[in-house]
């Protein structure tokens, strides 16, 4: 338990430091570029007043939280689909070399295409609803997770795999009993990176496709000069992204403290 708490503390401290640093950068940026002006550039105090202390704050908060619920739903589904697909495809690529040699170049080619360029095709094929947004979020999650999980699976101890084979275990048995447990750090690292990615994919899908959620709110706020709403939405998305990243990190440290390679130290 002490090991887990120590790992969590070492993980959370830089994260909290980064939040403070981001706040300082926000303030310094507005000071360094006075041409932005108070009408467009909102300070932390402005956003606090808009979300918390003004008379209209409860109504504003509720509207943003309603949009946030839609975005979190879209991101959660995209995250789950993307991570599951990455796990399955990584296991298949690592286990069957011919499949990797055939399809990995295709995957990397698709990864090189900007998502904004793919978005109209995705919307055309899957529609402007939840499915289209989920596909966009899942694509953002899938490719980085695939590379990291494959690297983790390939780092499985060769001696342990040979032992499984010597006792008659199949390639899939070695994968399940040795490679997957050994790849847990890579899986969690992929999950940590993918959580903000899923939010970005969901926002992009809402912006270009569904017209709902915070992604739509962000794009509508600019032409309608709702700069308080714009900055507040960005702050909320940033904080939620950091919180989700921290939750995955805490779970990671708890699991690895018990089952990881350094368990018990």
For residue range 52-70, what is the model confidence (pLDDT) as tens digits? Answer: 988 888 999 899 999 999 9
Residue pLDDT, tens place only, 78-136: 999 999 999 999 888 888 878 888 888 887 777 777 777 777 788 788 887 888 888 88
Contact 194, 83 (CB under 8 A): yes
> Phi and psi for 224 in degrees, rounded to 5?
-95, 5
How many Å apart are CA 184 and CA 260, to the nearest integer? 7
Residue 244 has pLDDT above 80, yes or no: yes
Q: Reply yes or no on whether the pLDDT at 261 is more than 60.
A: no
Average pLDDT over residues 232-240: 90
CATH node for 42-259: 1.10.3720.10
pLDDT tens per residue across span 4-37: 677 677 777 887 888 889 899 988 988 888 887 7
- pLDDT at residue 116, as a whole number: 75
How close are the terminal C-alpha atoms of the chain, in Å? Answer: 11
57 touches 50 (CB < 8 A): yes
Span 154-181, pLDDT tens digits: 887 777 777 777 777 767 777 777 777 7
pLDDT score, position 177: 76
Mean pLDDT computed over 232-239: 90
């Amino acid at each position: 338990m002490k090991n887990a708490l120590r790992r969590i503390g070492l993980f959370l401290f830089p994260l909290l430091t980064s939040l403070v640093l981001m706040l300082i950068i926000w303030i310094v940026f507005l000071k360094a570029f006075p041409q932005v002006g108070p009408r467009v550039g909102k300070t932390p105090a402005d956003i606090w007043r808009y979300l918390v202390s003004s008379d209209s704050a409860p109504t504003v908060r509720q509207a943003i939280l309603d949009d946030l619920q839609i975005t979190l739903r879209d991101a959660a589904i995209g995250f789950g689909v993307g991570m599951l697909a990455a796990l399955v495809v990584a296991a298949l690529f690592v286990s069957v070399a011919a499949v990797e040699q055939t399809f990995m170049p295709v995957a990397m080619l698709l990864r090189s295409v900007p998502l904004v360029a793919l978005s109209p095709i995705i919307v055309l094929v899957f529609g402007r609803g939840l499915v289209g947004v989920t596909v966009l979020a899942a694509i953002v999650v899938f490719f980085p997770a695939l590379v990291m999980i494959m690297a983790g699976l390939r780092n499985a101890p060769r001696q342990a795999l040979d032992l499984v084979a010597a006792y008659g275990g199949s390639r899939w048995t070695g994968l399940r009993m040795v490679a997957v447990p050994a790849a847990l750090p890579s899986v969690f690292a992929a999950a940590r990176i993918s959580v903000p990615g899923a939010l970005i994919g969901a926002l992009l899908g809402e912006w270009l496709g569904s017209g709902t959620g915070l992604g739509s709110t962000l794009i509508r706020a600019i032409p309608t000069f709702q700069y308080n709403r714009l900055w507040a939405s960005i702050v909320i998305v940033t904080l939620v992204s950091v919180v989700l990243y921290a939750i995955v990190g805490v779970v990671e440290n708890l699991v690895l403290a018990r089952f990881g390679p350094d368990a018990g130290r």
